[in-house]
Amino acid sequence: MAHHKISVTVNGSVESVDVPSNMTLLTMLREKLGLTGTKNGCTAGECGACTVFLNGEPVNSCLVLAVECDGAEVRTVESLARNGQLDPIQQSVIDHNAVQCGFCTPGVLISARALLDRNPDPTEEEIRDALVGNLCRCTGYIRILDAVKDAARVGAAPGTGGSR
Amino acid sequence: MKNVDMQMHVRGTSQFVDDLAAPAGCLHAALVTSRVARGRIRSLDLAEVLAAPGVVAVYTHRDVPGLNEVGHVLRDQPLLAVDQVEYIGQPLALVVAESHQAAWQAAALGRADIEELPAVLDPREALAQGMIHGQKRILVSGDPDAAFQTCRHVVQGRLASGPQEHFYFETQRALAVPTEHDTIKVHASTQSPGAFHRHLAEVLGLPMHKVELDIRRLGGAFGGKESTAVWVVAPALAAFLLKRPVKLVLPRNHDIATSGKRHPYEYDYRIGLDEEGQILAYEVDLYQHAGACADISLAVLGRSFLHASGAYRIPNIRVRAVSCRTNIPPNNAFRGFGVPQGTFAIEAAVTHAAEVLGVPAAQLKRKNLAGDGDVLPFGMVLENTNSGRCWETLDARVDLAARHAAVAEYNRTHTDSKRGLAVVPVCFGISFAQTALNQAGALVNIFVDGSVEVSTGAVEMGQGVNTKIQLVAARTLGIAPDRVRVHTTNTSRVPNASPTSASTGADLNGMATKYACEDLLTRLRRFAGQHLGHDDPEQITIREGVVHLAGKPTELRWEKLVAAAQWARVDLSSHAFYATPNLHLDPKTERGRPFAYYSCGTSLTEVWLDCVRGTYRLESVEVVHDVGRSLSEVIDRGQVAGGVMQGIGWSTVEQLRYAPDGRVLTGANAYKIPDLKSLAPHFAVTLLENSQNPNAVCNSKAVGEPPLIHGLGAWFAILDALRSVRRDKDLPSLPLTPEKVFMYLHG
Ligand code: FES
Ligand code: FES
């Protein structure tokens, strides 16, 4: 398998990584960079647990090849809190107890952050549309929905997701 | 109080098995599995596997140092096949390679020469061929034959319910690390510390004290990590043989294709009622589609069997149940453990009867609702159920009569769309029906700085059991919850633990924790009395971390008390044990009191149906459930909501298909679990007020499984809408996917 040296900015720091052609962004984050916050729920683009920001857009990192990320900017759940201070969406998820096993949570947070960055005042329908790809087997969703609504209501504060 | 792990979960710092830093030299395991559903193995050809890049070793059953067996209840499940295969996906060989990808790619190259035998994939056919697990069970109460003679209405039918994939977000996995003195430490995603510990030791041929199983947290389990030990034992075997760390992470599609599911069932029912709609007699045959090995199927069947009367008072009953051995992967536990199936049959029978009688199903249900003092078919007298109160609470919230009228009016005035509703009462026995499993141990250590560490056999899988245990300890000791930490579940600290299942995790382990804390408190109060120059320990209490004497706070704080006690040579560690009292079931007579108490609730589900397309929307779900005096309302509400949604998934969209050769056809891209758009616009959970439960820790009631049954309301509400269109067809099977709805309407 051919290997490639890529340069990618992850959570603000420039990383130079040696990746095989078939390695996904998800595997690179978890295994090459030790960023295990991003989870692998299906490796098939179905569950959303692996959602990260790629150049400001939420993507399923299990469907992106690491080599495609040469020169790109990636942000993961580990970057949401700034100086230990939780992002409002993280706080809202805690306030609403929208976590059970926690395996879907990192992906949910990224999708929600992405939604609030582009639309600080989403309707319920818009929230459902934006998070329909983030499955959760534990919570039954009601609290996830409420947490996102509330994060929007209290003013979603500065976005941490995009590169803008 | 909130789930203690939440801060870490939102920061992405909580660790699951695959997040632990891989030890140096860690290898990866994969399985070569059968592509034939039934046959005799002539030979295995593993040369290509061994030659594949990165492969370090390949093992077959011949390499197993101990017992080649992982059968959970019966000894009928080899770890690696010996001379025959019973299902597609059955493990034939174990591959170890330098990377996860290399291991699974190599495993796909395995070839087996198998003499094929005709596979049996239909439970009734299996039964006809005598392919069953264990024995048939029969329960008779009253005189059903005589009672049917006197019934004004007798209604009968056939039914089927399908499999359900657990779809725990974290697939099956384990990391095994060889340690000194030929011991091994295994980090695994399992609900069954005690049983898996034993399986590990048996397969490796080691005494159990050389195997340590450590469980931190699970990314969901729902029963699917209770009994099938293959994926935990296999990497341990490789690690043991190679003396190197080995990890196995089951890829999602392998997990779906080879792991057990909620058992599909088929049912024949007959129900008899008098003029007034009183149920006089009920007869049901349960055919469980169990798969190739017994796994935990007989226990699941037992629960369906004991819950055949559902939430109703039925004086004359006959239940026959049989576990059919078929050539699909062995099915296993799934939240509800057979109760959803047993309940489905009686709910369908009552609904069918209501149709014949021309009355709303809810009316029959209310009339026949079992409550305190009623006797269940196996002789247990119901107490403290609050079943009627749950129903009245729901009625007061939603006004059932008005809802019925609104649906009827809508349906009278609409032809292209219809509405439907269903009221589902739940009555769910709490305890393992296997009496021996109702035991738990807890180890509580108090350190000299006043911090407290609790170890139990309970496994945290998102249900919040660690938080509940932390609360029980803090409450019992009289200190703040943040002074208490619940440690990982580890077989070296708490041995022989029962699985965390049957909704009993908090009941059993919470009670053991309470006992251990009470023991420590007794020692500390005695010491505090001496310390304060007061020798009546009865006068000493600890509240909010402060020692009180005769109800008044003293200068003595918890931290000081603990340090002084240790210096005075008071033992600050205690192990305690709890076994649920007064449980028994005689397998010969099928009579007894297998459950400590019942968990009840009632719900209303409403749907809207597009009669042209066959699509539907859940409009509203209103649940009232009794959780006793809740240990943590936020956790319990979450359990109710999540359970109901899983039940809705099972009832509506979760469909798994098998090919005619027994292969699972549905992968992650086709198996649909409910998503955010499945959530009804109105979804409300009410916890019954003023409920007490003397039979569980701190007056609480178990909450893990019972609410799932409310999800059946989705199936019955859709059915209600469908039957308002046409009734000239048999009841459809569960789940009611949009395709099935379309075929029912237009087929
Ligand atoms: S792991 Fe990427 S979508 Fe599931
Ligand atoms: S909290 Fe477990 S999958 Fe969402």
A57 and A101 inside one domain: no
Assess: ipTM above 0.90.
yes
A74 and A128 inside one domain: no
Distance A60 CA to ligand 1 centre (A): 6
At B697 the pLDDT is 86
- Of A161 and B349, more confident: B349
Cα separation, B447 vs B11, whole angstroms: 29
Cα separation, B266 vs B231, whole angstroms: 30
Phi-psi region of B170 (alpha: psi -120 to 50; beta: other; left: phi over 0): beta
Last residue of a domain, one of A79, A108, A141: A79
What domains are defined for chain B? Answer: 6-118+172-249 (3.90.1170.50), 265-433+587-746 (3.30.365.10), 439-579 (3.30.365.10)
* Residue appearing with tokens 């290898």: B27
Q: Is residue A21 in some structural domain?
A: yes
Last residue of a domain, one of A53, A79, A105: A79
Query: Is the Cβ atom of A139 under 6 angstroms away from ligand 2?
Result: yes
pLDDT, tens digit (0-9, with 9 covering 90-100), for B369-390: 999 999 999 999 999 999 999 9
- DSSP-based three-state secondary structure for A1: coil
Q: What would the mean pLDDT of B535-549 be, rounded to a whole number?
A: 93
A60 and A96 inside one domain: no
Q: Is the peptide bond before B735 cis (omega within 30 degrees of 0)?
A: yes
At A157 the pLDDT is 54
Q: Is residue A133 in some structural domain?
A: yes
> Facing residues of B317 across strands?
B141, B282
Is A138's CB within 8 Å of B220's CB?
yes
Nearest residue to B478 via CA among B423, B412, B547: B547
Q: Residue B219: which residues within 8 A CB-CB, separation 6 or more?
A: A39, A101, A102, A103, B16, B168, B169, B170, B189, B461, B462
Indicate the average pLDDT of chain B.
97
Backbone angles phi, psi at B174, to 5 degrees: -160, 155
Is B641's CB within 8 Å of A142's CB?
yes
A75 and A129 inside one domain: no
What's the token pair of residue B402? Answer: 């008005």
Chain B contacts in chain A segment 1-20 (CB below 8 A): none
Instruction: State the pLDDT confidence band at B537, using cuts at 50, 70 and 90.
Output: confident
At B243 the pLDDT is 97
At B731 the pLDDT is 96
Cα separation, B627 vs B616, whole angstroms: 31
Distance B683 CA to ligand 2 centre (A): 19
Q: Is residue A160 in some structural domain?
A: no
pLDDT, tens digit (0-9, with 9 covering 90-100), for B13-25: 999 999 999 899 9
* Angle CA B404–B406–B410, to nearest 5: 120
Indicate the average pLDDT of chain A.
94
Q: Does residue B535 have a pLDDT over 80?
A: no
Give contacts of B644 with chain A, Cβ < 8 Å. 140
Q: Does residue A161 have a pLDDT over 90?
A: no
Q: Is residue A163 in some structural domain?
A: no
Number of C-beta neighbours around residue B590 at 10 A: 20
Q: Residue B422: which residues within 8 A CB-CB, separation 6 or more?
A: B351, B361, B362, B604, B605, B712, B713, B714, B715, B716, B717, B719, B720
Q: Does residue B43 have a pLDDT over 60?
A: yes
A104 and A64 inside one domain: no
- DSSP-based three-state secondary structure for B185: strand
Check if the beta carbon of residue B338 is closer than 8 Å to that of residue B302: yes
Cα separation, A8 vs A21, whole angstroms: 15
A75 and A98 inside one domain: no
Nearest residue to B711 via CA among B677, B732, B735, B742: B735
Instruction: State the pLDDT confidence band at A1, using cuts at 50, 70 and 90.
Output: confident
Position B19: which residue type? Answer: D
At A162 the pLDDT is 39
Is A137's CB within 8 Å of B168's CB?
yes
- DSSP-based three-state secondary structure for B715: helix
- Nearest CB among B6, B675, B679 relative to A94 is that of B6
Q: What would the mean pLDDT of A73-88 be, rounded to a whole number?
A: 96
Cα separation, A21 vs A65, whole angstroms: 8
Percent share of chain B, pLDDT over 90 = 95
Q: Residue B14: which residues within 8 A CB-CB, separation 6 or more?
A: A102, B5, B8, B217
Instruction: State the pLDDT confidence band at A156, using cuts at 50, 70 and 90.
Output: low
Q: What would the mean pLDDT of A118-135 be, rounded to a whole number?
A: 97
Q: Does residue A163 have a pLDDT over 80?
A: no
Q: Is residue A40 in some structural domain?
A: yes
- DSSP class of A78: G
Instruction: State the pLDDT confidence band at B356, using cuts at 50, 70 and 90.
Output: very high
- Residue A138's closest chain B neighbor by CA? B642
Cα separation, A152 vs A144, whole angstroms: 12
Cα separation, A4 vs A71, whole angstroms: 13
- Nearest CB among A76, A94, A140 relative to B12 is that of A76
Q: Residue B429: which residues within 8 A CB-CB, separation 6 or more?
A: B303, B306, B307, B339, B594, B595, B597, B598
**Residue of A24, A25, A46 with the most ligand 1 atoms within 8 Å of its CB, for mutation:** A46
For the purposes of burial, counting CB atoms within 10 Å of the CB of B559, is it exposed (0-12), middle (13-18) or buried (19 or more)?
middle
Q: What would the mean pLDDT of B143-163 be, rounded to a whole number?
A: 98
Position B332: which residue type? Answer: N
- Residue A76's closest chain B neighbor by CA? B12
| Strand bridging mode B484-486 / B452-456 | parallel
Q: Is residue A143 in some structural domain?
A: yes
How far is C-alpha B737 from the chain's CA centre? 24
* Residue appearing with tokens 């006089």: B280
A75 and A92 inside one domain: no
Q: Residue B635: which residues within 8 A CB-CB, separation 6 or more?
A: A97, B3, B463, B464, B467, B468
A75 and A96 inside one domain: no
| Interface membership of A63 toward B (CB under 8 Å) | no
Distance A116 CA to ligand 1 centre (A): 21
Cα separation, B654 vs B672, whole angstroms: 5
Give contacts of B669 with chain A, Cβ < 8 Å. 44-46
Distance B333 CA to ligand 1 centre (A): 25
Cα separation, B313 vs B318, whole angstroms: 14
Check if the beta carbon of residue B418 is closer than 8 Å to that of residue B284: no
Is A80's CB within 8 Å of B11's CB?
yes
- DSSP class of B588: T
Give contacts of A99 with chain B, Cβ < 8 Å. 3, 5-6, 9-10, 462
Last residue of a domain, one of A18, A47, A79: A79
- Of A95 and B695, more confident: A95
Cα separation, B174 vs B18, whole angstroms: 8
Is B461's CB within 8 Å of A101's CB?
yes
Number of C-beta neighbours around residue B526 at 10 A: 16
pLDDT, tens digit (0-9, with 9 covering 90-100), for B571-623: 999 999 999 999 999 999 999 999 999 999 999 999 999 999 999 999 999 99
Q: Is residue A164 in some structural domain?
A: no
Position B15: which residue type? Answer: Q
Its pTM stands at 0.96
What is the number of structural domains in chain A?
2
Q: Given CA atoms A21, A22, A25, A28 in this order, what sign does their dihedral have?
A: negative
A117 and A73 inside one domain: no
Q: How many CB pairs under 8 A join A and B?
A: 159
Percent share of chain B, pLDDT over 70 = 100
Give contacts of B634 with chain A, Cβ < 8 Å. 97
Q: Given CA atoms B511, B515, B516, B522 in this order, what sign does their dihedral have?
A: positive
* Domain of residue A97, CATH code: 1.10.150.120
Position B443: which residue type? Answer: L
- Residue A100's closest chain B neighbor by CA? B462
Q: Does residue B660 have a pLDDT over 50?
A: yes
Q: Active site includes B705?
A: yes
Cα separation, A135 vs A144, whole angstroms: 11
At B244 the pLDDT is 98
Q: Does residue B223 have a pLDDT over 80?
A: yes
At B138 the pLDDT is 97
* Domain of residue A68, CATH code: 3.10.20.30
What's the token pair of residue B707? Answer: 């609410």
B462 alpha carbon, closest ligand: 2
A73 and A110 inside one domain: no
Cα separation, B705 vs B644, whole angstroms: 9
Nearest residue to B18 via CA among B289, B247, B211: B247
Cα separation, B39 vs B34, whole angstroms: 10
One DSSP character per residue, B259-274 reads: S--BPPEEEEEEEEE-
- DSSP-based three-state secondary structure for B629: coil
- Nearest CB among B9, B166, B676 relative to A131 is that of B676
**For atom 4 of ligand 2, which residue has the closest CA?**
A136
Check if the beta carbon of residue A29 is closer than 8 Å to that of residue A10: yes
Q: Is residue A162 in some structural domain?
A: no
At B429 the pLDDT is 96
Check if the beta carbon of residue B492 is closer than 8 Å to that of residue B455: no
pLDDT, tens digit (0-9, with 9 covering 90-100), for B468-503: 999 999 999 999 999 999 999 999 999 999 999 988
A21 and A60 inside one domain: yes
Q: Could you list the residue range(s) of the whole structural domain that residue A134 is in?
A: 88-153
Q: Does residue B303 have a pLDDT over 70?
A: yes
Distance A38 CA to ligand 1 centre (A): 10
Check if the beta carbon of residue A138 is closer than 8 Å to that of residue B220: yes
Cα separation, B201 vs B472, whole angstroms: 33
Cα separation, B617 vs B408, whole angstroms: 18
> Facing residues of B557 across strands?
B546
Q: Does residue A160 have a pLDDT over 60?
A: no
Check if the beta carbon of residue B77 is closer than 8 Å to that of residue B69: yes
Backbone angles phi, psi at B107, to 5 degrees: -60, -35
Q: What would the mean pLDDT of B65-78 be, rounded to a whole number?
A: 95
* Residue appearing with tokens 């891989």: B22
A68 and A7 inside one domain: yes
Cα separation, B481 vs B4, whole angstroms: 10
Check if the beta carbon of residue B455 is closer than 8 Å to that of residue B443: yes
**For atom 3 of ligand 2, which residue has the closest CA?**
A136
- Nearest CB among A42, A102, A143 relative to B5 is that of A102
Residues contacting ligand 1 via CB (< 6 Å): A 40-50, 60, 62
